[in-house]
């Protein structure tokens, strides 16, 4: 006699519902480890946030765009880049800050940008409130945040900076 497995529609439907629910709310199989911080000299995270972002990535950004940064209209972008680089050179002591708030007019003109700034505020609240620095906040947060700060620094979203606006 052959053995057969009989599957009813109701058991298939409930299995599909359980699978769908699991996909909507995936749970890790293991506990999530603590975030990587950049506070330990000699680690990759420390090197990245205390040296590499400034001296390699932002330096290369400057070098590859040097003509633009030193051309008329880009003075504010260069000043912003240099200010960000100065923060990173003292990453252990410079406290994180929120992105510059938009005016009510800017918020109504660009609601997507306003939402993005609010999302960054939500991400940064625990670290800004705690007085965390570029090194003491989680590396993943600061790694992403530095590139968003670069956009702010060069005036990428600032229509009054015609040279660097959406550059």
State the CATH class of domain 37-153. Answer: mainly alpha
Question: What is the DSSP code string of 54-80?
Answer: IIIIIHHHHHHTHHHHTSTT-HHHHHH
Query: Tokens in use for 29?
Result: 């199989």
Assign 159 a pLDDT band (cuts: 50, 70, 90). Answer: confident
Q: 81-97, pLDDT tens digit by residue?
A: 999 999 999 999 999 99
Average pLDDT over residues 77-81: 97
Query: Tokens in use for 16?
Result: 């599909």
- Cβ atoms 48, 60 nearer than 8 A: no
Number of Cβ within a 10 Å radius of residue 160: 7
SS3 content of the chain, % helix, strand, coil (to 5): 55, 0, 40
pLDDT of 29 > 50? The answer is yes
């Amino acid at each position: 006699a052959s053995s057969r497995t009989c599957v009813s529609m109701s058991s298939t439907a409930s299995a599909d519902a359980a699978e769908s629910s699991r996909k909507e709310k995936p749970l890790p199989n293991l506990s999530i480890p603590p975030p990587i911080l950049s506070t330990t000299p000699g680690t990759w995270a420390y090197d990245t946030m205390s040296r590499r972002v400034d001296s390699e990535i932002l330096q290369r950004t400057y070098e590859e765009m040097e003509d633009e940064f030193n051309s008329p209209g880009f003075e504010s972008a260069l000043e912003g880049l240099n200010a960000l680089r100065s923060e990173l050179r003292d990453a252990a002591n410079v406290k994180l800050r929120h992105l510059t708030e938009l005016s009510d007019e800017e918020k109504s003109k660009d609601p997507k940008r306003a939402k993005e700034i609010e999302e960054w505020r939500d991400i940064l609240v625990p670290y800004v409130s705690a007085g965390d620095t570029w090194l003491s906040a989680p590396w993943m947060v600061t790694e992403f945040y530095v590139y968003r700060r670069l956009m702010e620094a060069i005036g990428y979203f600032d229509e009054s900076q015609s040279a660097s606006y959406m550059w």
